Amino acid sequence: MPDKKHLAITMGACTGCGGCAELQPEYIGWSEGDERPFLLTDLAPDDVIHELQAFCPEDCFDWD
């Protein structure tokens, strides 16, 4: 099992494009009313975090 890191979203920069929820639906949910993503879990493997960081146009994803 790959190591997992704590995943975080910086909501202030989010434009609500929804790409993250489509890209990683096991980790990112989508709030239709707010048109914003939310974490389904705060732990994710490196490859998931790197993919979200590479895809997000506003650099909303980080890890610790």
Domain 4-59 has CATH 3.30.70.20: yes
Looking only at the bridges linking them, the beta strands covering 28-31 and 43-45 are unpaired
The predicted-structure confidence for 1-40, as pLDDT tens digits, reads as follows 568 999 999 998 899 999 999 999 999 999 999 899 999 9
Tally of CB atoms within 10 A around 16: 13
User: What's the pTM?
Assistant: 0.88
Token output for 19? 């790409």
